[in-house]
Each structure stands twice: as C-alpha cells, then as structure tokens.
Structure 1
C-alpha cells in the first residue's frame, strides 16, 4: 500500500518579499525539516511592485511543481494568489490566505497609494470565487486591511474565515515570527 504524497507547499510572500523573522520563513523551515516539499516565490529584483511580475513569478514556481500543491500567502501575496487563480489553473488543494490588505481604501503612509496600486495592476482585486478551498485568516486590528472589508473579500472568494483576534498585520512588526496556527490551518486545508 502506497502512502499518498503530501501536497507541495508554495509560499507566496507579500511586497516586502522574504524576511528572515517572518512566520512564512519559519513555517518553510519547519515543514522542510519535517520532509515536506516547500517552494517559495523568489524576490523580484526589478518590477518589485508590479502585480503582473508577481503573478508571473508565482506561475513560474507553480509550473515547476509536479502534483498537488497548497498555497500559503500573506498580505499582497494573497492578492497575487487571487489574481493568479483567476488567470491560471493548476492542481491546488487549497490556499491559506493570511491578512490580505484592503486595496479598496488608502493604505498607511509608506505604502502605495490607490492610484499607484491601480497603475501597477493590483486593482480591481478579483472578487469571484476561487477554484479551490481556501481559508482567509483575518486580524481584528490590521492597519492594512479593515476587518469588515477583508471578511467581505473572503466571502466573495468562497473562503472560510478564521478570526485571529488582534494580531496587527501578522508580521514581525506586530510581534509575529513563528505562527504555529499556520500549521494547523494548513492541515485543515489538506484534509479537505
């Protein structure tokens, strides 16, 4: 009797790309140490803020996976994943979509303006149902995405909503390196 292969995990970071202390980086290390196949969308040297370039980078990683996969996205990586899913298809078991930003309202200083996001192709954000199971992990106090607009996005995508409480943007600036709940949510997705 053969043991079924676990899906490859594809990590889709946000616009700040790879941060050593980030929960996605810690999750990738943990899963790799446990024998999982983990792929990470690499940082972009140019066109770093281009939605098209980010979707192409994700598609390149996904195209190299032979078999089922699970996406694990954070922040703008969620929006990248949603744009990708509405343009391409692959054997995706599910997606963990953590703290997506609300690009429908102005972001805090230091982030792209609504006009810049539109010029870079990020908006409008696709609102149709995703073609795979998904969980949107939403923060009660995310400075980049209000609770109600993010829940509305999740419902439009057909995602299950998991309320995290007050975790900010679920990043090192909010006090998050490792996020153990990510492993639990990943298992839930992969069990179906």
Structure 2
C-alpha cells in the first residue's frame, strides 16, 4: 500500500513532534489529515475534512486514529457513502467524549457513533488511560466490531507514554494489514 494512503487521524490539539503518529509520518511517509482547528474541534468540520481526504485519495486508505481521531472515524463511517474506500482502521486510545468532563472540554462530539464499522478494524486500549476507562474502550471495540488489543498500562498511548516510535504499534499495523490481504 502506498504510504500516503495511510491516513493519520490525530486527536484534540493534534499530535506533537514526540507523538508516535508524528514520528510515523516523518519516518514512513504516512499522511496526516490536517484539520482546520485543532484546539476547538467541530465534529462536522472534522468529518468533512476526512471525507475530502478519503475521496481525493488515489486508492483505498487505511485510517490510523488516536484519541478523538477514533471517535471521528466511527462518526464519519456512520455517515459517509465512501466507507468502501477504507481498507481498514487502527484505532488507538479512543477518548470517551461522553464522559462529562471531556464533553465539557470538547462539546458537540457526543454521542459516540456505536454502529459496527463497515471495514475491518483493531482497537488498542490501555489499562490506565486517563481519557477512557478500559471497559469503555472494550465496549467501543465491541460496538464497532473491532478486534480489541490490551496494550497494558501505557496511559493515553501518546508522547507522554514514552513509546518513542512505538515499533510495537507499527508491527501490529503491518501484521494486521498483511493478514487482511
């Protein structure tokens, strides 16, 4: 698969230089879906931007989402006519935007779309994610029809988790992509 067809969907406030998504972009040529406003995310705007990117891609795409990017992927998939263009999705550390504290910080993202995703997916959850309880992450995976992977205690699976380039995550992505063909 063309590396530029692996689309990175960062969460709220984008993924900084130390985040594995940014490292994968720099090291492997994956393409970040740039949003218009990372600080005040609007679900409709973010969905429209993802729609444009998927439609403009030169073939099937793979979504690699983190945090709010996971919630975006599920919402977009439930409302698009172009889900058939998605080969699959790696969903990492979804943010629980139905939790009152997060719903207040990121308004307009609740409810979380809970329909089964129309493409194969894997959800990686952490046992001590401050933005989503472990059982909630498992529940999202079940609702979305995603294979669930317990990555242990790695916080929000972001730069603060000390994962560096997160080679285990990339190996998971590549192994999973290989098993889909």
Report the TM-score, using the length of structure 1 for normalisation. Answer: 0.84
Correspondences of 1:23-172 after superposition (within 5 Å): 23-32=20-29, 38-45=30-37, 48-88=40-80, 89-90=82-83, 91-107=85-101, 112=102, 114-115=103-104, 117=106, 120-172=107-159
The alpha carbon displacement at 1:115 in A equals: 4.6
SS of alignment partner, residue 170 of structure 1: coil
- Determine which structure has more spread, i.e. the larger CA radius of gyration: 1
2:175 is matched with 188
The alpha carbon displacement at 1:69 in A equals: 1.0
Deviations 1:72-93 (A, max 9, x none): 0000011011111111124111
RMSD: 1.9
Deviations 1:54-85 (A, max 9, x none): 11121122121011110000000110111111
The alpha carbon displacement at 1:159 in A equals: 0.2
| C-alpha contact 2:14 2:38 (8 A) present in aligned 1 | no
More helix by share: 2
For residues 189 and 63 of structure 1, the distance between their equivalents in structure 2, rounded to whole angstroms, comes to: 24
The unaligned stretches of length 5 or more in structure 1 are: 33-37
State how many pairs are aligned.
176
Report the TM-score, using the length of structure 2 for normalisation. Answer: 0.89
For residues 188 and 87 of structure 1, the distance between their equivalents in structure 2, rounded to whole angstroms, comes to: 29
The alpha carbon displacement at 1:184 in A equals: 1.4
For residues 149 and 128 of structure 2, the distance between their equivalents in structure 1, rounded to whole angstroms, comes to: 14
SS of alignment partner, residue 131 of structure 1: coil
The alpha carbon displacement at 1:52 in A equals: 1.1
The unaligned stretches of length 5 or more in structure 2 are: none
Deviations 1:142-183 (A, max 9, x none): 000000011011001000001100000011223233211221
